[in-house]
Structure 1
Amino acid sequence: MTTKLEALELALRTALGEGAAISVALGEVTVVVKAAGYIAAMQTLRDHPALKFEQLLDLCGVDYSTYGEGTWDGARFAAVSHLLSIEHNWRVRVRVFAEDDDTPVLASVVELWRSANWYEREAFDLYGILFEGHNDLRRILTDYGFIGHPFRKDFPMSGYVEMRYDPEQKRVIYQAVTIEPREIIPRVIREETYGMNPGSKNLG
């Protein structure tokens, strides 16, 4: 008897053909598509009667530069979406990699799912992924004057600039980070009797 997961995998392979790599792990189906065929694949996922993924639940950026403890040799940036079909009651994960690591660009899916609007803005803000066709691609979580993209693996923990109130100028200003980078080693205190009931010391 065919399980629901197997039925979904078959429907995906039939609808998407050779243009997608489909895998099943931990009870979830993941579809990996190439950037050039991203919009066509997403439209198929939404409109094909055997799939009907009407809702985009989430879209986020991913930086694979340190994935697998540095053994990753594929493209650096990807957008990962989670789609839901209410009609068929199933979900799928879609991953697409940007072809250029220096300037990652992917097509926007806002025209297919309006919910992608703020998700794509977040991926742009935090990872620097540009979504071509997005009509309002600007930062959404960081400040307007923020420099860089804070979820990139090479972004410094202290950032590039800091913000403070300047009493002379009577306004908030930005300046270069003055925090000295340092490594903090936590102090560990070990006690032989830690966690023992005080009344149990004399037992035995």
Structure 2
Amino acid sequence: MSDTALHPETLKEVVAAALGDLARSVTLALGEVTVVVKPANYLKAMQTLRDAPDCRFNLLSDLCGVDYSTYGDGQWEGERFAVVSHLLSLELNQRVRVKVFCEDDGLPMVASVNDLWASANWFEREAFDLYGIVFEGHEDLRRILTDYGFIGHPFRKDFPITGHVEMRYDEEQRRVVYQPVTIEPREIIPRVIREDNYGGGLH
């Protein structure tokens, strides 16, 4: 591993040069470089980031789904679902974040990068399970955290906190049974406590 990482501004320029027109934007904020790509360019952009001599992001350290439907108190006007990846170059000691928005909110879909990084396998299955994002080309895209018969995707913002069904062990049937959830949905409003001497009176 390189002892000295590139300055973030230099890394931004290196990544932008390597991707060229494949990137929709390359930005720098809080010392971190973020790349946004279109779904059509996603797979090629990811391969470029892995293979380009000045990039060599040979480790996919994280990949997750995001639901922007309530972002900014509902003021968000872009696509609802995105996939966010974090790449690391072990050789060059540098990191980059890649974001791709799914074009169809009804059927969010992007290409799988499982053939580029084996670590994408479970990450993509998790994003499929929790957000309903389909990774085209993934050879084993099935639920990984929820039950086999689970309906819906629990990390979507419109999924009820209580869920749709609950399970319990039935003594008479001597098996686990599923039934409609019996918890009444309610608004949870945080209580703000204001005390003059809270925290020892330090301000």
Q: Which moved more, 1:186-195 or 1:66-75?
A: 186-195
What is the distance in 2 between the residues matched to 1:76 and 1:165? 38
Residue 122 of structure 1 pairs with residue 126 of structure 2? yes
Gaps of 5+ in 2: 1-5
- The CA deviation string for residues 171-199 of structure 1, in whole angstroms up to 9 with x for no partner, is 10111112112345678888887777xxx
Name the residue aligned to 1:199. none
What is the distance in 1 between the residues matched to 2:190 and 2:53? 57
Name the residue aligned to 2:76. 72
Contact 2:61–2:86 at 8 Å: present in 1 too?
Answer: yes
SS at match of 1:146: coil
Contact 2:9–2:28 at 8 Å: present in 1 too?
Answer: no
Residue 148 of structure 1 pairs with residue 144 of structure 2? no
Letter of the 1:108 counterpart: S
Between the aligned residues of both structures, percent identity stands at 71
What is the distance in 2 between the residues matched to 1:10 and 1:136? 37
Q: Which moved more, 1:175-184 or 1:59-68?
A: 175-184
C-alpha change, 1:193 and 1:100, in structure 2 (3 Å) is: closer
SS at match of 1:69: helix
SS at match of 1:68: helix
**RMSD (CA atoms):** 2.1
Name the residue aligned to 1:202. none
What is the distance in 2 between the residues matched to 1:132 and 1:138? 12
1:9 to 7, 12, 15: 12
1:28 to 32, 51, 75: 32
What is the distance in 1 between the residues matched to 2:194 and 2:11? 53
* Alpha-carbon shift at residue 18 of structure 1 (Å): 2.3
* Alpha-carbon shift at residue 4 of structure 1 (Å): 1.6
What is the distance in 2 between the residues matched to 1:187 and 1:81? 36
SS at match of 2:48: helix
C-alpha change, 1:190 and 1:113, in structure 2 (3 Å) is: closer
Larger Rg: 1
TM-score normalised to the size of structure 2? 0.89
SS at match of 2:73: coil
Residue 135 of structure 1 pairs with residue 139 of structure 2? yes
What is the distance in 2 between the residues matched to 1:110 and 1:13? 24
TM-score normalised to the size of structure 1? 0.89
Residue 90 of structure 1 pairs with residue 70 of structure 2? no
- The CA deviation string for residues 112-143 of structure 1, in whole angstroms up to 9 with x for no partner, is 00000000000001100010111111111111
What is the distance in 2 between the residues matched to 1:8 and 1:156? 42
Letter of the 1:14 counterpart: A
Residue 182 of structure 1 pairs with residue 158 of structure 2? no
What is the distance in 2 between the residues matched to 1:152 and 1:67? 12
